[in-house]
Amino acid sequence: MNDIEWTTAPKTKDKPIGYQLKRCPCGSTPPLIILSDRIIGAELHWLGGRSSPHLKHNCPGCLAKTARVWKGYLAVIDPRTQQLSCLEITPPCVDALNSYAAAWGSIRGAAIRLSRSTTKANGRIKIEITQSTYATERLPQPFDVHLLLEQMWQTTEKTNKPQMTTPRNPQAEKEAAEETDPILKREATLHEKKTTPQNGEKIST
């Protein structure tokens, strides 16, 4: 049995990160402190009763012709409970986060509070982002949001990764679609018409 590769811990990619996904409830979240220094996001399909990420190749959601909706994610800590979680944000939140980053250098350490403008579960989300009194160097390091999402979506295989992006830039999206197969290209064009243009760039993963 000389071939066994003994280790003292599972490889990082196999170790469940296990933080909860936090979505804006009806009402509002408590003030949370952002640990991430950037937003990671992807377009999602609602498929089979759950969210699943849009994939670059042979995407089941595109094949089923379901709409694509961009969601962003941030590692956050609740300062009252010290609980870490992964906060889901929507495209309208991105401009506020980018403005904050432009003004203060980073979103890490900022206080964020999401609320819904209506009592409907799918009402528009309002974001409040303010400076917190927490020194960034004393905050915990952010956990790997990218890995958490891949574990949640169970798409860790290298061949067909979710396309992690900031909100869609129609021109960049069109160029990307042209490099993919004809079905995806057609779907991207269909969905593009429904999407509000946003400035954003792709994050390579």
Q: Which residues bind Zn ion (CB under 5 A)?
A: 54, 59, 61-62
Shortest separation between residue 163's beta carbon and Zn ion, angstroms:
9
Which lies closer to Zn ion via its Cβ, residue 67 or residue 121? 67
CA distance 185 to 27: 39
DSSP H or E stretch at residue 40: strand 40-47
By Cβ distance, which residue is nearest to Zn ion? Answer: 59
Shortest separation between residue 62's beta carbon and Zn ion, angstroms:
3
Which lies closer to Zn ion via its Cβ, residue 61 or residue 200? 61
Phi, psi of 93 (to 5 degrees): -75, -20
Shortest separation between residue 186's beta carbon and Zn ion, angstroms:
12
Shortest separation between residue 7's beta carbon and Zn ion, angstroms:
36
Which lies closer to Zn ion via its Cβ, residue 54 or residue 108? 54
3-class SS at 87?
Answer: strand
* Amino acid of residue 149: L
CA distance 20 to 4: 34
Which lies closer to Zn ion via its Cβ, residue 62 or residue 148? 62
**Which residues, at least 6 apart from 150, have a Cβ–Cβ distance to it below 8 Å?**
156, 161, 162
